[in-house]
């Protein structure tokens, strides 16, 4: 019997639609059909993430109920689930660890993971993100347990974009050394786009180590399916039933992406005068900042709606849109990403608008004609006119892109293959 540990750290996994949809749901699909193997999900959650500072009691109750719901759901699908508090990092914005926080985090977390691996007699670990995989690798030096490195993004580069450390810092240099070691020692490396896969393959080309696969952020079409009745109700609720709605869902990659999105909306409005911009942003404190910046940019209050939504409300409210926006300014990690929002937009029937330097999603949008790829430095309106003219066709093409690339079923099959491929150092290529 194979005992698979699915492991995350430093993420509020009991209140994250990303973790739930992108990781736990695929695991549950596999485990439900495979009663002959043991599946365990463990999340190391920093103590500062067990409540929200601005709403202590309310958040405690919400998080507690959500943990109970997730554990019950996973248990019914043959997955044992446990959330474990860890001491470090104690900062609220501590996901990207500098060298000092990395040391404290490792000292704190390593013994707990070591115990878990022995306690449950784990023989394969699927670790999501760099901090999780680092301590998996260190325990593996003694226990020899193979692991799948689910990278998610370029962690060192994202740390620079987040302003935690600089390219010349010792923290960045250390993480790049760790990155290479983790890649080379993994049985499989999971990447979220083809450019990301090529980046990792270049890292291993000389040593001939890990198998590298493209496993995109997937979407369950049952969660984000078009519903005209619900769409009409949501649009009426916010008074946009007669508008052409450009929707941005989720966080922005860098601070520069907010003004980029606002300026693009002004550009689009010259082509479609009844355009309306809707932004979903999970952090309530950011809403005031976005509204103020929109006013400075020249956007009228009647043309903008900014909402702070809990994760469970996003599938319903995404139907408010006519097109989905995923606009990013050029940053270090921009070429490698495909956003979680991309599959959700397309599954809900929204063609998407992406910037041309997003080399993960842009080629797919072009290939399937499921939206448009734009150059925000160019004032051309040809792509936008094509979108409006061919809107219905682009929408249908989006469903095809979901089915052939982003659908949950397709990605569950791929994950199942790498779980039950023989994992050992001898089998690495």
Binned average pLDDT, 10 residues per bin, the chain of 429 residues? 94 91 93 88 95 86 95 96 94 87 96 97 96 97 95 93 92 96 93 93 67 91 93 96 95 88 95 96 78 93 92 92 95 89 96 95 96 89 95 97 94 86 51
Sign of CA dihedral 51, 103, 19, 277: positive
Greatest pairwise CA separation for the chain in angstroms: 64
**pTM confidence score:** 0.91
Q: How many residues comprise the chain?
A: 429
pLDDT on residue 165:
92
Alpha carbon distances (Å) from 368 to 106, 394, 405, 410: 44, 8, 11, 17
Q: First and final CA of the chain: distance in angstroms?
A: 25
Q: Determine the Cα–Cα distance for residues 428 and 422; give it in Å rounded to an integer.
A: 10
The three state secondary structure string of the chain is: CCEEEEEEECCCHHHCHHHHHHHHHHHHHHHHHCCCCEEEEEEEEEHHHCCECCEHHHHHHHHHHHHHHHHHHHHHCCEEEEEEEECCCCCCCCCCCCHHHHHHHHHHHHHHHHHHHHHCCCCEEEEECHHHHHHHHHHHHHHCCCEEEECCCCHHHHHHHCCCCCCCCHHHHHHHHHHHHHHHHCCEEEECCHHHHHHHHHHHCCCCCCEEEECCCCECCCCCCCCHHHHHHHHHHCCCCCCEEEEEECCCCCCCHHHHHHHHHHHHHCCCCCEEEEEECCCHHHHHHHHHHHHHHCCCHHHEEEECCCHHHHHHHHHHCCEEEECCCCCCCHHHCCCHHHHHHHHCCCCEEEECCCCCCHHHHHHHCCEEEECCCCCCCHHHHHHHHCHHHHHHHHHHHHHHHHEHHHHHHHHHHHHCCCCCHHHCC
Residue ranges, comma separated, of all CATH 3.40.50.2000 domains in the chain are: 3-218+408-427, 228-406
pLDDT on residue 342:
96
Q: Which residues contact 386 (CB under 8 A, 6 or more apart)?
A: 372
Q: Which of 139, 158, 157, 121 shows the shortest CA–CA distance to 38?
A: 121
CATH topology of domain 228-406: Rossmann fold (3.40.50)
CATH topology of domain 3-218+408-427: Rossmann fold (3.40.50)
Tokens (6 digits) for 231: 């769409």
Task: Calculate Rg over the CA atoms of the chain.
Answer: 22
């Amino acid at each position: 019997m194979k005992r698979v540990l699915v492991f995350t750290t430093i993420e509020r996994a009991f209140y994250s639609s990303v973790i739930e949809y992108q990781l736990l749901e695929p695991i549950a699909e596999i485990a439900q059909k495979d009663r002959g193997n043991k599946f365990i999900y463990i999340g190391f959650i920093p103590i500062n993430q067990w409540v929200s500072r601005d709403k202590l009691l309310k958040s405690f109750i919400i998080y507690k109920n959500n943990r109970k719901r997730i554990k019950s759901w996973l248990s019914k699908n043959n997955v044992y689930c446990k959330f474990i508090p860890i001491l470090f990092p104690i900062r609220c914005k501590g996901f990207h660890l500098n060298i000092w926080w990395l040391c404290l985090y490792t000292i704190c977390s390593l013994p707990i993971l070591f115990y878990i691996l022995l306690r449950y007699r784990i023989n394969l670990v699927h670790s999501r993100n760099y901090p999780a995989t680092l301590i998996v690798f260190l325990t593996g030096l003694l226990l020899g347990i193979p692991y799948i490195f689910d990278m998610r993004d370029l962690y060192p580069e994202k740390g620079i974009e987040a302003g935690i450390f600089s390219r010349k810092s010792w923290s960045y240099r250390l993480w790049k050394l760790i990155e290479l070691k983790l890649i080379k020692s993994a049985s499989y490396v999971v990447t979220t786009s083809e450019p990301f896969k090529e980046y990792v393959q270049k890292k291993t080309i000389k040593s001939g180590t890990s198998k590298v696969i493209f496993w995109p952020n997937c979407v369950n079409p049952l969660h984000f399916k078009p519903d005209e009745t619900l769409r009409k109700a949501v649009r009426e609720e916010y008074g946009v039933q007669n508008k052409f709605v450009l929707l941005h869902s989720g966080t922005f990659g860098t601070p520069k992406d907010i003004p980029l999105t606002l300026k693009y909306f002004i550009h689009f409005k010259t082509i479609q005068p009844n355009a309306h911009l809707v932004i979903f942003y999970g952090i309530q404190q950011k809403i005031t900042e976005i509204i103020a910046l929109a006013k400075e940019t020249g956007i009228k209050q009647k043309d903008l709606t900014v909402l702070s939504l809990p994760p469970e409300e996003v599938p319903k409210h995404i139907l408010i849109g006519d097109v989905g926006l995923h606009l990013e300014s050029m940053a270090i990690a921009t070429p490698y990403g495909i956003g979680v929002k991309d599959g959700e937009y397309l599954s809900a029937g929204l063609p998407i608008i992406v910037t041309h330097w997003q080399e993960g999603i842009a080629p797919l949008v072009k290939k399937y004609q499921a939206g448009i790829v734009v150059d925000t430095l160019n004032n051309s309106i040809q792509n936008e006119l094509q979108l409006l003219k061919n809107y219905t066709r682009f929408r249908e093409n989006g469903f095809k892109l979901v089915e052939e690339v982003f659908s949950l079923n397709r990605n569950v099959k791929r994950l199942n293959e790498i779980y039950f491929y023989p994992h050992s150092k001898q089998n690495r290529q």
